[in-house]
């Protein structure tokens, strides 16, 4: 992993996303979301080319933003409190529940479960339904917030699953 640039499958800690800016008369309200963990979703080739081009060759091959997905602490996901005050709490779940076992086996397309046996990190769950972009320069300024980078096999699997999830054909539910 290059320490100088962002790579596909990098996991960052404490990344702030600008949610909204409201201006009313002379009052400016800025809403931010702080994610405890995020995973970089961009393709490695795009990140590498962007880094090599950097500021010296501004062209449409450069990245304006980097795609990330939130990775929540799995125990908080189980309690339903992983979104904090952004969404109301979900119903608590147990590891032995069938749906949770399926999530942990990466059989539910929306999620990807990560367990780090060699690192002192909590189990994480990536939620592909909520992905964001962050300004390229902002993320580069926070390289010291990078905790680790996933091995090639794992980062490719995550990107494949993310691509499959966002490219699915969504059909409306029919009421009978």
Residue 34 has pLDDT above 90, yes or no: no
pLDDT of the residue at 1: 43
pLDDT tens digits, residue range 92-111? Answer: 778 888 888 999 999 999 99
- Reduce the DSSP state of residue 32 to 3 states and report it: strand
Domain boundaries, the chain: 10-166
pLDDT tens digits, residue range 109-128? Answer: 999 999 987 778 899 999 99
Rounded mean pLDDT, 45-64: 79
> Residue 146 — left, alpha, or beta (φ > 0 → left; ψ -120 to 50 → alpha)?
beta
pLDDT of the residue at 55: 64
Beta strands in the chain (DSSP E): 10-24, 27-40, 65-73, 111-114, 124-127, 132-135, 146-149
Q: In whole numbers, what is the pLDDT of the chain averaged over residues?
A: 86
């Amino acid at each position: 992993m290059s320490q100088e640039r962002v790579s596909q499958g990098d996991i960052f800690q404490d990344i702030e996303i600008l949610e909204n800016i409201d201006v009313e008369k002379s009052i400016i309200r800025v809403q931010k979301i702080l994610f405890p963990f995020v995973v970089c979703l961009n393709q490695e080739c795009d990140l590498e080319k962007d880094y090599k081009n950097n500021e010296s060759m501004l062209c449409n091959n450069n990245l304006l933003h980097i795609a990330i997905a939130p990775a929540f602490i799995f125990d908080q996901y189980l309690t339903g409190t992983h979104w904090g005050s952004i969404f109301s709490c979900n119903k608590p779940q147990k590891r032995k529940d069938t749906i949770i076992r399926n999530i942990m086996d990466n059989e539910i397309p929306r999620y990807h479960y990560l367990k780090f046996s060699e690192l002192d990190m909590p189990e994480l769950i990536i939620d592909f339904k909520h992905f964001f972009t962050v300004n390229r320069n902002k993320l580069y300024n926070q390289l010291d917030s990078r905790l680790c980078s996933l091995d090639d096999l794992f980062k490719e699997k995550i990107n494949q699953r993310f691509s499959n999830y966002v490219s699915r054909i969504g059909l409306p539910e029919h009421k009978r």
